[in-house]
Structure 1
């Protein structure tokens, strides 16, 4: 079983309560879809899960995760589990992450982007007082850049694409994230950000699920099997 948890906003109670009802061995992965805004290091927030489940936990950044230095820094203890632009395989399913939200300071479609990539932005802000690590100002760590959107189909498609912001299957979503899902070959997209529980079809088959604030989405073995067998022209 996989658990996907959206927009904790500092309150992980629902996740901890639900996960606590299962044995660690029955949960193959836990995925946080952004806006965790942890008040303390994420490993401490998730400590009741136990070491076995924390080791199976991955996260995305949301726009509010950079509201304060502490929110961002409290993710660093699990930084190797930041799923942005990574693809992992869990129980045979290929899962990829795309952190962040569109930000008018970087790129707010349909307007053209101010910066094509993080390197160009970091160079410009290299003397900014809020710059850290690669000299990217903290407030831009959770922004989507054009470099995050694949321009051509992936050689190896993924089964699930996780995002914080929404594709344009929602009226407040963005076509660029639909393009990311299409070019990654995703049959299932899960996102948070809008605090709205909904689902919609993808144009090429499959589904998008938007999750509400502090909502959990379960992926059961039965759903895994259906996803593996899914015809890209079909739907859930």
Structure 2
């Protein structure tokens, strides 16, 4: 495949549009931005892509750990090793891709001065949290409650900040977004990322006037939307998000 790399906004259980767009554009890669909520194991949902040898990467969203069944369809899938949360991989065009899945939660850490504990974390790591989690509620190798597989811990940020990447994908949004986080701008800057792409909020906002200040280009991808982003950081909407028209004028 010699076509674009596609960044796919929250599918929430529907993948047909991704398979169609990848085929139509001859995509050289597909990247899912979380909240996949597959109705079957993820490798079965994306089987047509795998059969055509289109490489797939993803980060998880908060809803991907909403139930035991969803957890198994994502982390128990044959594509589990394509989760780029907390690591860096090389894309077909040579760019380095890093990922941060999940969301901030007050019970663990919500990095805002107006939040509980003035934004300080209750737990810095999953291991620390597991010691406070009743044995019957522990899940998988992390030892924390299953839903917290979709939670961001300080250790996730600390680890990524030591890495270098050209593109950083997030489920949460960086600071340009009304519900974004300054901390994620700092993370992208420390990693040397030139492009940041996120899902979660189902928005495709135009923040181009802030890119020089940020030091990177930022893109939101809407609900079930698809955007291609080339090696120079130029974006093109391949499939409009389902809420894009309703939110078209929602600028910062």
Scaled to the shorter chain, the TM-score interval is 0.7 to 0.9
Confirm or deny that 1:42 pairs with 2:37: no
Given candidates 198, 210, 222, the residue that maps to 2:205 is 198
Counterpart for residue 168 of structure 2? 161
Where do 1:4-23 residues align within 5 Å? 4-23=7-26
Structure 2: runs of 5+ lacking an equivalent:
113-118, 235-252
Per-residue deviation, 1:130? 4.7
8 A Cα contact 2:88 2:99, kept in partner = yes
The normalised TM-score by structure 2 is: 0.81
The normalised TM-score by structure 1 is: 0.86
Residue by residue, what CA displacement relative to the aligned partner does 1:50-84 show, whole Å, maximum 9, x if unpaired? Answer: 43435x11110101111111111101221111100
**SS at 2:48 equivalent:** helix
Given candidates 177, 181, 188, the residue that maps to 2:195 is 188
Confirm or deny that 1:207 pairs with 2:217: yes
Counterpart for residue 31 of structure 1? 31
CA distance, structure 2, for counterparts of residue 30 and residue 123 of structure 1: 37
**SS at 1:171 equivalent:** coil
Confirm or deny that 1:177 pairs with 2:184: yes
Provide the aligned length of Structure 1 versus Structure 2.
219
Per-residue deviation, 1:204? 4.3
8 A Cα contact 2:31 2:58, kept in partner = yes
CA distance, structure 2, for counterparts of residue 14 and residue 151 of structure 1: 34
Per-residue deviation, 1:16? 1.3
8 A Cα contact 1:7 1:195, kept in partner = yes
Counterpart for residue 101 of structure 2? 99
Q: Over aligned residues, Cα RMSD in angstroms? A: 2.0
Residue by residue, what CA displacement relative to the aligned partner does 1:159-214 show, whole Å, maximum 9, x if unpaired? Answer: 10000011111111111111111111111000000000113234243310011110
Change (3 A) 1:117 1:199: farther
Counterpart for residue 231 of structure 1? none
Per-residue deviation, 1:40? 0.8
Counterpart for residue 74 of structure 1? 73
Structure 1: runs of 5+ lacking an equivalent:
229-236
Given candidates 123, 130, 138, the residue that maps to 2:131 is 123
CA distance, structure 1, for counterparts of residue 139 and residue 160 of structure 2: 32
